[in-house]
A and B are shown apart, each in its own frame.
Chain A
Amino acid sequence: SQQGEEDPQALSIQEGENATMNCSYKTSINNLQWYRQNSGRGLVHLILIRSNEREKHSGRLRVTLDTSKKSSSLLITASRAADTASYFCATDYFIIQGAQKLVFGQGTRLTINP
């Protein structure tokens, strides 16, 4: 299976703390994308990290990628109640004519306690 796996499955922290979520995958990838999903809503794109990149930042988000270990991590600094959501990593494979197929894990359910 190409499915990625997120760890932990659930994480509960206090507001202001940092949250770290990990993702592992099984086969070589082109890119890896992180998404956020609020309960009952669609997926919001957070960051795309390319296979030749090791680290990427966007605001309070920091994503790392280690292709030798087939793993990625998402760090959210100074968490806020609004960060409460499920976070998914999606490994990115080319399927045909350059189109991409995303393979998602089960996600990490993050709860920020005020």
Chain B
Amino acid sequence: DTGVSQDPRHKITKRGQNVTFRCDPISEHNRLYWYRQTLGQGPEFLTYFQNEAQLEKSRLLSDRFSAERPKGSFSTLEIQRTEQGDSAMYLCASSQVWTGASGNTIYFGEGSWLTVV
């Protein structure tokens, strides 16, 4: 158990519907990341928060995707007007404040599976 919680674990939705995923990071971690993973591939970086500020976004994050972290604790990832190509596992991860030049371990949650039909 890594301590990062994601909800829901599975979501099946019809094309065109909106979906929202929630992530609760490890409590003392102020850095939060979203990744996307499709079958047979490694995870791909989507976006990064430090506290409540969204500081980095991938080009993979189209205008239909929006992520928030309103109070610097939990985060939500919303996908509007879902498309079949959005079917994937959405992974949340968190880490502690960078304390030196060496970086920190990044811990992942169990992921939220999205199937768009």
Report A's interface with B, CB cutoff 8 A.
3, 30-31, 33, 35, 40-45, 48, 50, 88, 90, 92, 94-107
Is B75 in the interface zone, CB < 8 Å from A? no
Task: Provide the bound-state CA to CA distance between A105 and B40, in Å.
Answer: 10
A41→B2 contact, CB < 8 A: no
Cross-interface CB contact of B106 among A30, A94, A100, cutoff 8 Å: A100
Is B85 in the interface zone, CB < 8 Å from A? no
A99→B110 contact, CB < 8 A: no
CB neighbours of A35 from chain B (8 A): 108
Residues of chain B in range 86-117 having any CB-CB distance to chain A below 8 Å: 91, 93, 95, 97-98, 101-111, 113
Would you give the 0/1 interface string for B33-56, flagging 1 where the beta carbon is closer than 8 Å to chain A? Answer: 101000011111100101000011
